[in-house]
Amino acid sequence: MKVRFYDSVADEKLKFAVIAVWSLEGWLFVRHRMRDTWELPGGHREEGESIDACAKRELYEETGIRKEGLTRICVYSVEGRTRVNETGEECYGMLYMTCAAAAAKIPESEIAEVKCYQTFPLAWTYPNIQPQLLRRAVQSSLRYETGYGCDANSTRFILQQLPEWFGLPDALEEYVQDSMHMDSISCFLGNQMVGFLSLKQTSPQALEVYVMGLLPQLHHMGIGTVLMKMAEQLAIQRAFSYLHVKTLSPDAKDSSYLKTYAFYEKAGFCPLEVLPLWDAWNPCQLMVKYIGKPA
């Protein structure tokens, strides 16, 4: 199975429309009455129908959402046999993205259920195709900004969606208030801030990754890596030599923080020492990354 992406193809080649629907509750997936698997809304283009009209119709028929002006992301193609392509020849479709508050009442159709997922569903109808389409839609729609201070309501909302990491209300609010007065890199999907990273200067040579958060429905899409790379670029531009971060030590064997530790290791941070900052059940691991001598 091969999935390819194109800027454009001849209109008559476009046979399918697929729509990635984003809401703050998660990604909208639909389940066909005859299946127990999940897929993005979409379907076949009808005779005499424009591809944009196809996308609009399929979105309504499968989710009940009426939406004008869906955003075209790109043309995609699939080569290989699927349940809708018995020959296996390369076939083409248009990938769209839109934002919606939630699904509406579903009209009579082949769709039995619409559900919001904050992570990818375990049972995909097209597991070799649609995860790639969703990632492409997300990556094509993101916007990153560097600036001073983060909007408190946005950072608070993001951190509240991450109770495995930010489960203490007082500590969460401290992060929110402090981030209003720090250099930050923010990630936006449409007009909604969906992720951020705030930096605290701790010495003339070092910046701390003070707090970082990303909505769970956007995990595992490379966004955290981009935020970290932008933080490193900012530090280099300002002639800092080190980035460092405090996280929970792997000795605590917390499943969520083990993922965090692995993320920092992959980003090039090295464990320096365990600090007695918190308590015996929460050993504080200091990690450091050398980014170069000041110019």
**E strands of the chain, at which residues?**
2-6, 14-23, 26-32, 42-44, 71-79, 91-99, 111-117, 142-148, 183-189, 192-203, 206-214, 242-248, 270-279, 282-290
Contact 242, 288 (CB under 8 A): yes
Say if pTM beats, i.e. exceeds, 0.85.
no
What pLDDT is attached to residue 84? 64
Q: Residue 130: which CATH number?
A: 3.90.79.10
Last residue of one domain, picked from the residues 100, 118, 141: 141
What pLDDT is attached to residue 83? 62
Please write the tens of the pLDDT for every residue from 159-202.
999 999 999 999 999 999 999 999 999 999 888 899 999 999 99
What pLDDT is attached to residue 294? 60
Specify if 38 maps to a domain.
Answer: yes
Q: Residue 186: which CATH number?
A: 3.40.630.30
163 and 137 belong to one structural domain: no
Range of the domain at 280: 149-290
Furthest C-alpha separation in the chain: 69
Closest CA to 120 of 258, 219, 49, 264: 219
107 and 213 belong to one structural domain: no
C-alpha span between 250 and 283 (Å, rounded): 9
What pLDDT is attached to residue 101? 75
98 and 195 belong to one structural domain: no
Residues of the chain with pLDDT under 70: 83-86, 102-104, 294-295
186 and 156 belong to one structural domain: yes
Specify if 295 maps to a domain.
Answer: no
What pLDDT is attached to residue 277? 87
46 and 161 belong to one structural domain: no
91 and 156 belong to one structural domain: no
What pLDDT is attached to residue 102? 67
177 and 106 belong to one structural domain: no
What pLDDT is attached to residue 86? 67
